[in-house]
């Protein structure tokens, strides 16, 4: 079904935090690993406006439906960052402007040429470049939605669960937009399909990986996408990507995770294999972990391992 942009603009709003008891975190705080993931998400949500900067210098700015969506998308993502900042503040962690400004100063040298490279690539690729961006957006929104689902699943904190469910409802509308635009622009366009496939295969990394420190990216990947449930979440995203025209069989998310965290990906791969062969994979996951943590265990070719079906 086509995305109704008028309906979206009528219903968009700052995240409703009515009734969210942020003070409850003082009596029942979140664990440090979850807080570290939330710091990452706070920073990335607030970086949305910089992604928008790079999008607006491309062909995408010519399409009024896209620019209307982007206007409200950036608005909603901003309020996601603010809400996560309140969770961090309740734990005495830094959030908000100073933290955001520091990240932007840090990534400035790396991002200095980003608008120029986007504009140049868009000028060369033409309209096919919009398909790349819309597909990229869909993958990132699917990943974000899955990431929040995993955070609340692991944290088991009622206040955080309610807050993240509200954020996820808005992320769901972002998915609807990007996925419908991607499908429409890839459908029947071999050039757009080839370009998008190449860009994802060679350039895509998990959301935030281009701006966050490697250690934080690895922590988020390990926290959210390791173990049987994490691997299943990654597979679900890959199935969404596979269903887009011309993108079947990419193994995108599993491949990217394996490149960032080869060890836990290998554990997951072994668990999958054991589950298929014995039907008792969950019980064998610990065995796989033990084997891999043994001194001298060799890990080779993570990308090919990750692409094992």
Chain contacts with Fe ion (rule: CB under 5 A): 45, 77, 80, 141, 171, 174
Rounded to a whole number of angstroms, the minimum distance from the CB of residue 180 to Fe ion is: 15
Rounded to a whole number of angstroms, the minimum distance from the CB of residue 14 to Fe ion is: 12
Length of the chain: 309
* Nearer to Fe ion among residue 77 and residue 216 (C-beta): 77
Residue 77 corresponds to which tokens in the numbers above? Answer: 């993502």
Residue 235 corresponds to which tokens in the numbers above? Answer: 């597979």
Which residues are within 8 A (CB) of 243 and not within 5 positions of it... i.e. 6 or more apart?
none
- How far is residue 221's CA from residue 217's CA, in Å, rounded to a whole number? 6
* Nearer to Fe ion among residue 59 and residue 77 (C-beta): 77
Rounded to a whole number of angstroms, the minimum distance from the CB of residue 76 to Fe ion is: 7
* Nearer to Fe ion among residue 77 and residue 238 (C-beta): 77
Rounded to a whole number of angstroms, the minimum distance from the CB of residue 73 to Fe ion is: 7
* Nearer to Fe ion among residue 7 and residue 187 (C-beta): 7
Rounded to a whole number of angstroms, the minimum distance from the CB of residue 171 to Fe ion is: 5
**How is residue 31 annotated by DSSP?**
P
* Nearer to Fe ion among residue 171 and residue 216 (C-beta): 171
Provide the 10 A C-beta neighbour count for residue 201. 13
* Nearer to Fe ion among residue 15 and residue 252 (C-beta): 15
Provide the 10 A C-beta neighbour count for residue 89. 14
Rounded to a whole number of angstroms, the minimum distance from the CB of residue 290 to Fe ion is: 37
* Nearer to Fe ion among residue 141 and residue 238 (C-beta): 141
- Report how far apart, in Å, the C-alpha atoms of 228 and of each of 145, 159, 195, 268 are: 18, 25, 33, 7
- How far is residue 174's CA from residue 148's CA, in Å, rounded to a whole number? 14
* Nearer to Fe ion among residue 43 and residue 77 (C-beta): 77
* Nearer to Fe ion among residue 169 and residue 205 (C-beta): 169
53 close to 115: Cβ distance less than 8 angstroms: yes
Torsion angle in degrees (nearest 10) through CA of 201, 202, 205, 209: 180
Radius of gyration for the alpha carbons in the chain, expressed in angstroms and rounded = 20
Rounded to a whole number of angstroms, the minimum distance from the CB of residue 254 to Fe ion is: 22
Rounded to a whole number of angstroms, the minimum distance from the CB of residue 174 to Fe ion is: 4
- How far is residue 208's CA from residue 44's CA, in Å, rounded to a whole number? 6
Rounded to a whole number of angstroms, the minimum distance from the CB of residue 207 to Fe ion is: 9
250 close to 200: Cβ distance less than 8 angstroms: yes
**How is residue 62 annotated by DSSP?**
G
End-to-end CA distance of the chain: 30
207 close to 145: Cβ distance less than 8 angstroms: no
């Amino acid at each position: 079904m086509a995305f109704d942009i008028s309906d979206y603009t009528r219903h968009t709003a700052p995240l409703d935090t009515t009734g969210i008891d942020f003070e409850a975190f003082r009596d029942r705080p979140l664990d440090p690993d979850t807080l570290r993931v939330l710091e990452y998400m706070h920073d990335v949500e607030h970086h949305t406006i910089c992604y928008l900067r790079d999008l607006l210098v491309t062909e995408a700015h010519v399409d009024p439906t896209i620019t209307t969506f982007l206007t409200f998308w950036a608005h909603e993502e901003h309020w996601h960052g603010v809400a996560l900042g309140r969770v961090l503040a309740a734990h005495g962690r830094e959030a908000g402007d100073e933290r955001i400004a520091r990240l932007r100063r840090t990534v400035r040298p790396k991002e200095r040429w980003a608008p120029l490279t986007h504009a140049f690539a868009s000028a060369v690729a033409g309209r096919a470049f919009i398909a790349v961006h819309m597909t990229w957006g869909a993958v990132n929104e699917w990943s974000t939605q899955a990431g929040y689902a995993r955070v609340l699943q692991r944290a088991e904190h009622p206040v955080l669960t309610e807050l993240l469910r509200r954020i996820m409802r808005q992320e769901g509308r972002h998915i609807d937009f990007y996925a419908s635009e991607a499908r429409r622009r890839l459908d029947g366009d071999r050039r757009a399909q080839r370009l998008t496939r190449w860009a994802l295969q060679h350039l895509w990394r998990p959301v935030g990986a281009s701006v966050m420190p490697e250690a934080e990216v690895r922590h988020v990947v390990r926290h959210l996408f390791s173990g049987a449930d994490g691997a299943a979440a990654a597979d679900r995203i890959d199935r969404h990507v596979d269903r887009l025209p011309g993108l079947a069989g990419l193994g995108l998310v599993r491949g990217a995770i394996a490149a960032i965290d080869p060890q836990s990906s290998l554990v997951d791969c072994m668990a999958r294999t054991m589950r298929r062969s014995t039907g008792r994979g969950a019980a064998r996951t610990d065995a796989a972990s033990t084997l891999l943590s043994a001194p001298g265990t060799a890990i080779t070719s993570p990308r090919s391992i990750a692409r094992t079906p």
